Amino acid sequence: MKRIAVLTSGGDAPGMNAAIRAVVRAANYNHIEVYGAERGYAGLIEGELQMLSRRSVSDIIQRGGTILKTARSAEFTTYEGRKKAVEALSVRGIGGLVVIGGDGSLRGANELYNEFGVKTIGVPGTIDNDLGYTDRTIGFDTAVNTALSAINNLRDTMSSHDRVVIVQVMGRHCGSIALHAGLAGGAEVILVPEKPVDYDDVAAILNRGKAVGKTSGIVMLAEGAAPLDEVMRELKDRTGLSFRTTVLGYIQRGGSPTMEDRVLASRLAVRAVDLLRADKGGRVVGVKGGEVIDLPISEALQIPPRFDSDLFEQAKMLSL
């Protein structure tokens, strides 16, 4: 394979640039040219591809977001749309495609492989850490650290004013960010979509704290666990404590990637290029027990996201 392409798709995640850089550098090292498609599958369909040189990916490893931009594409979910994407690749003699993105993007990569035989390799890039086949996704560590730094700031002001703050973080279906940031930030309560929310139980924890003179605290709320206003109302009624709310929102998506995310992105991208060099496609890369792994996309996407219930219970025990 002499020419490959790379794109970022779906929600952006810190570390995507580190992955793009590593794809380009690892490929060029092995005398393979790399084209970058802009705006994910949407740009690929429109033929928005440009050659990426070693130099063009200088000075991006530390940047959040993605220099290739990302998008969602309804057209790509149709057979005709995917056919256009394949034509854009074949007209340039591009034999392989590295797709950096979440669950949906990897499904798209699998379709290209199954329907047209395009050698696609998926690289997990999403802050949600919601892919069951890999222990970590690129961007998760940075997002957790961003949330953690917000908790640290909030704790200072909450303890000065005797207030409890409910911090809403991303995680519609997956409470990993809330769990990890909550544990690391010493949150009194962590609410995640994977576990039923019991307001009596939560109020009892806060009331127990109140009884021993604790009048401030942090409630970490993954957005999919329960609506923010409902949580505040239910807990106010049951505790009489003073509450404030903070929604971290898009702040969690940006920022300079942590060492963990940069190293992970680099390792996964190198494996992706290795697979293309070996003429393999329809596979995803990931990490298990610290080791880089690869497996068929179809197999990987059947593995449900795993919520770390043990860690959740430990966090609960340690917050008391």
Region near ligand ADP per CB under 6 A, out of 16-24, 61-69, 106-114, 268-276: 106-114
SS in 3 state form for 5-66? EEEEECCCCCCHHHHHHHHHHHHHHCCCEEEEECCHHHHHHCCCEEEECCHHHCCCCCCCCC
Residue 156 CB: number of other CB atoms within 10 A? 9
Bridge-based pairing of strands 189-191 and 33-37 is unpaired
Q: How far is the CB of 174 from ligand ADP (least distance, A)?
A: 12
Give whichever of 158 and 174 is closer to ligand ADP, judged by the CB atom: 174
Stretch binding ligand ADP (CB under 6 A), from 97-105, 268-276, 289-297, 312-320: 97-105
Binding residues for ligand ADP, rule CB under 6 A, total 17
Question: Tokens for 295?
Answer: 């497996």
User: For the chain, how long is the longest CA-to-CA vector?
Assistant: 71
Task: Give the residue, chosen from 95, 101, 255, 281, that forms a contact with ligand ADP under the rule CB under 6 A.
Answer: 101
- β-partners of residue 288 are 291
Listed residue (295, 269, 285, 286) closest to 28, CA to CA: 269
Token pair 């700031």 is found at: 153
Query: Exactly one of 69, 107, 236, 244 binds ligand ADP (CB under 6 A); which one?
Result: 107
Rounded to whole angstroms, the Cα distance separating 18 from 80 reads 32
Near ligand ADP by CB under 6 A, which window of 28-36, 99-107, 165-173, 194-202?
99-107
Single residue of 14, 19, 24, 41 touching ligand ADP by CB under 6 A:
41
Residue 24 and residue 60: Cα distance in Å, rounded?
A: 12
Candidates 12, 103, 128, 130; catalytic one = 128
Residue 111 Cβ vs ligand ADP, minimum distance, rounded to whole Å:
5
Nearest to ligand ADP of 33, 141 (CB atom): 141
Let me know if 294 is a catalytic residue: no
Candidates 25-33, 61-69, 102-110, 269-277 — which segment interacts with ligand ADP by CB under 6 A? Answer: 102-110
Q: Site for ligand ADP (CB under 6 A): which residue of 5, 6, 7, 11?
A: 11
Q: Residue 72 interacts with ligand ADP (CB under 6 A)?
A: yes
With CB under 6 A as the contact rule, the residue among 102, 124, 175, 281 that binds ligand ADP is: 102
Phi and psi based region of residue 48 (left: phi greater than 0; alpha: psi -120 to 50; beta: remaining): beta
Per CB under 6 A, the segment of 85-93, 100-108, 192-200, 234-242 that binds ligand ADP is 100-108
List the one residue from 76, 140, 243, 307 that touches ligand ADP (CB under 6 A): 76
Identity of the residue, 104 or 186, whose beta carbon is nearer to ligand ADP in the bound complex: 104
Query: Closest Cα partner for 68 from 92, 93, 99, 95?
Result: 99
Site string for ligand ADP, 120-159 (x = CB under 6 A): ------x---------------------------------
Nearer to ligand ADP, 101 or 182 (CB): 101
Contact between 163 and ligand ADP by CB under 6 A: the answer reads no
* CA pair distance 275, 261, nearest whole angstrom: 21
**Backbone phi, then psi, for 290, in 5-degree steps?**
90, -10
* 10 versus 255: smaller Cβ distance to ligand ADP: 10
Name the residues that contact ligand ADP, by CB under 6 A.
9-11, 41, 72-73, 76-77, 101-105, 107-108, 111, 126
Active site residues: 128
